[in-house]
Structure 1
């Protein structure tokens, strides 16, 4: 059996490891990833961008070609983009504009989706402009590539003709036909567009010309290290295959997919067919991000959607599409937790108070574990003088020291790991709710109290982060601490300040959860402390 020093050492190492990993997790985002993302965005404005315009035949090598206009001339991105937003598409490139009740879809001269603008009031960026999903230099949704290399090269030089320059599908289902007439085939895309923003699409080519069609590169609105972003496919056996950005190092085929989705934290570009499965080839781009191409043969039909990963909207299209929302490792806990969150919200009507209620419910469910951990820490605190005496008496005989320690634990019903194990068991629940609140687009534009106007954004006045830090400090003060090492004590005393600093930029909904969680942890700890004080007082009277 391990002696007290070993047990305490193990407990402290586990706690320190958890804290260090968490701090590194947050610090890496703000000190490394954010500067890299900003530098990359700035570079995209002044550098010419290249794309792989060859068909995704995994048996042949692909060729790099500069982006071209319909006349075959290279597009000088440095001149265009420098003066415009990286998400602004020149009007000369647009052949049709589709308006639905929820978005505006712009179709470019090559029959691709050039841009999707979300028109609902809550979908605004930091400059209060309506959110646009795609960058001009990304692989665009519904781009077609032919297996015939010569035909494919021609297709990037011939303009598509639209049946209508403007489509109003805000209240009724509408149709749009795009036709591209090439020397050896006619490519036709027939859209059925619905007011909710999704579409059905039939694509065909004459003369049996084989083609591929893509759902495009993921939306580039919010991609950070906190949430998963990249590509996900649901296979016929209902398993999910997720490939995060930067993880695809070679071509890969997927046979039998129900849907494919390229996604960032809140938004998706989605192709699905639940009647006839999709065959898909994945190709890495220069950053090892996924480029997905559906095998179209010479004729294919499917449905698609480009927009927010709103649970109810996806479920309305097809219940299986809720799997587009990826919560990472703890999805199996996070999904039912979100359903509970949504259920509570349907009665409460406010997402902020819903988070408060959910946090209280979680604390009540986990109370038995928390109680055991807190009681164990109090017992160890009470036994500290006796443990110190044993360590001093048997400092030269570790075996006897360990034996007498275990006798002491057994006599008083103490467990040296009792304070740590309940904490470890609660970690999956914590990370599940963390992922839920981080990925829930439903919080976008949701207000709480007077000063929080958007629970998906940071608290504009830092009230919640400061309250969270203060509650963390108070929790630390009233929690028994058996640490002997002064350096470790100082590190833990600094944690409320460190966490407050990083939580300044966290979504207000997540900070609210952590603050309420701290408040109820303090209440529980206060109750346990008072209970032990009464027991000590009764024991002293009895003596």
Structure 2
């Protein structure tokens, strides 16, 4: 198989990959009005200890808010129940060059996305009668300079029992420990159960053909390290899993929120939908607090970017929310290598260029084998043509003679195709590594490239990529004589350029540099082949 047909093959594989990703994104989402209509029951914000949802007729929010600020997080907490109703990520701009921070959790009419937690059970403070109005000592809490930990308590008392809901935040961390301390000064045992859930408006956000993204749920449990659970899945079937280790999350491209129960006993993982809202969360085991004693129940909320090292340190398998698909075993090492390179060069664009040279350098033996096989196949074309004339329509005899000739000349007819097929998974893996890397979000390269995660605003990189692809075609040996096939091959660079106009600049940069490396390698390989008398120029 010659170079031109290889280009057509890889183009078809690439386009098929894009179409599959978009189809997968489209089928994992569902319009809000449809999901709302399919929700047959009206459910409130508080799950019951039995696993069924409780309805709360009263208000689920108030105007009594407090603010908690660290070096990376700015949280707004509603003291009615103590839910986190807003989370600003101070290290990430909302838009490129914006002074406003990115808002992950929000409580807006068109899009509600909040982190809720509470106590249910016989002595719980969240029930069908309403949620507890907690008391704070101030309205603003700030992590001071030189301070590594910020502790914010909210208190409530009822029937001789003191409840303290505590938020504990660390410097340079998106993990927030949320704990309930139950101090039972009554004469009877107190039974409570802590729940922690994420609530979000059901939105259709599948991205585009060139940048498919996922918004929806995900979870980890004992028998499932990582699994997406879309809003559509939540509508179809409620989750109800027991686990000793795991978490419940909601994801959106570069960011994730997740609740992790901090207990060695069995917790319950659940999901549900109600009135256009999706819920996914965990229930900790029920606890009975004896009179005169106290007990603390804790869950951790991660609400921030998909920083894989920090996610992995927060909970097992939480780093898998940086979803690299089925080629994760290739994409993950590529991302780690890219991060190591960036530590030295301090520019993600330069890091991508260096990574490209490393990847293509490792694959050089495959590239050399590819062009050597193509050159040998071209040298055999006169003999193949003579066989076609000699055997005519006798295809069986023709095939036998061809196989004998390939064996005698030590030529593999698939030698030019297999290297490309082996390179395709590497490209797809790198595609996802760059797509899922929050580090590239709003990361500048130089000149007009201010954001490697967005498309080139002036389309310079895609056009240069198309030019280099055309040069590769012109330099490659070919046996194509059919005018229609020649036109199709000539059109391939134009087709690819059209696709890459809307790709993230970081990925186009990789492909452009890869093409430049290919041109250099072609020159070196063809010079070596000429010395062996194998290389001849295109017809």
TM-score by length of 2: 0.79
Q: Secondary structure of 1:402's match?
A: helix
In the other structure, the counterpart of 1:21 is 16
Select which of 133, 137, 140 maps to 1:166.
Answer: 140
Greater Cα offset, 242-251 or 506-515: 242-251
Mapped partners of 1:446, 1:480: distance in 2: 39
Change (3 A) 1:400 1:65: farther
Mapped partners of 1:448, 1:13: distance in 2: 31
In the other structure, the counterpart of 1:106 is 76
Q: CA deviation at 1:498?
A: 2.7
In the other structure, the counterpart of 1:329 is 326
Mapped partners of 2:119, 2:484: distance in 1: 62
Q: Secondary structure of 2:153's match?
A: strand
Mapped partners of 1:485, 1:315: distance in 2: 55
Q: CA deviation at 1:406?
A: 0.9
Q: Secondary structure of 2:327's match?
A: helix
CA contact (8 A) 1:228 1:326 kept: no
Q: CA deviation at 1:297?
A: 2.6
Q: CA deviation at 1:123?
A: 2.7
In the other structure, the counterpart of 1:343 is 340
1:125 aligns with 2:125: no
Mapped partners of 1:221, 1:135: distance in 2: 17
Unaligned runs of 5+ in 1: 45-49, 71-91
In the other structure, the counterpart of 1:366 is 363
In the other structure, the counterpart of 1:458 is 455
CA contact (8 A) 2:449 2:505 kept: yes
1:96 aligns with 2:66: yes
In the other structure, the counterpart of 1:154 is 129
Q: Secondary structure of 1:107's match?
A: strand
Mapped partners of 2:159, 2:95: distance in 1: 44
Mapped partners of 1:526, 1:261: distance in 2: 50
Change (3 A) 1:14 1:52: farther
Q: CA deviation at 1:449?
A: 1.9
Mapped partners of 1:479, 1:236: distance in 2: 52
In the other structure, the counterpart of 1:199 is 176
Q: Secondary structure of 1:358's match?
A: helix
Q: CA deviation at 1:514?
A: 1.3
Mapped partners of 1:380, 1:482: distance in 2: 9
Change (3 A) 1:378 1:53: farther
In the other structure, the counterpart of 2:114 is 140
Q: CA deviation at 1:183?
A: 8.7
Select which of 256, 264, 271 maps to 2:244.
Answer: 256
In the other structure, the counterpart of 2:192 is 209
Q: Secondary structure of 1:285's match?
A: strand
In the other structure, the counterpart of 1:243 is 228
In the other structure, the counterpart of 2:270 is 282
Q: CA deviation at 1:323?
A: 3.9
Change (3 A) 1:127 1:539: closer
Q: CA deviation at 1:168?
A: 0.3
1:300-315 correspondence runs (5 A) = 300-314=297-311
Note the alpha carbon deviations across 1:446-488, whole angstroms, 9 max, x for none: 2212222222222232222222222222223323344565555
Change (3 A) 1:69 1:372: same
Change (3 A) 1:331 1:269: same
CA contact (8 A) 2:44 2:56 kept: yes
Q: Secondary structure of 1:461's match?
A: coil
Mapped partners of 1:479, 1:26: distance in 2: 31
The Cα RMSD (Å) is 4.2
Give the number of the structure whose residues are more often strand, by fraction: 2
Greater Cα offset, 297-306 or 316-325: 316-325
CA contact (8 A) 2:465 2:508 kept: yes
Give the number of the structure whose residues are more often helix, by fraction: 1
1:513 aligns with 2:531: no
Q: CA deviation at 1:28?
A: 6.3
Mapped partners of 1:537, 1:281: distance in 2: 64
Mapped partners of 2:51, 2:89: distance in 1: 39
Mapped partners of 2:444, 2:335: distance in 1: 18
1:372-391 correspondence runs (5 A) = 372-391=369-388
Change (3 A) 1:470 1:13: closer
Q: CA deviation at 1:119?
A: 1.5
1:441 aligns with 2:424: no
In the other structure, the counterpart of 1:522 is 519
Note the alpha carbon deviations across 1:213-264, whole angstroms, 9 max, x for none: 2144499998636355544444458x61211423453223141224443222
Mapped partners of 2:265, 2:467: distance in 1: 54
Change (3 A) 1:538 1:106: closer
CA contact (8 A) 1:223 1:265 kept: no
Greater Cα offset, 19-28 or 103-112: 19-28
Q: CA deviation at 1:201?
A: 1.8
1:190 aligns with 2:166: yes
Mapped partners of 2:129, 2:497: distance in 1: 57
Change (3 A) 1:65 1:209: closer
Change (3 A) 1:360 1:161: same
Change (3 A) 1:23 1:222: closer
Q: CA deviation at 1:51?
A: 7.6
Mapped partners of 2:22, 2:466: distance in 1: 17
> Greater relative contact order (Cα 8 A, min sep 6): structure 1 or 2?
2
Select which of 473, 476, 500 maps to 2:473.
Answer: 476
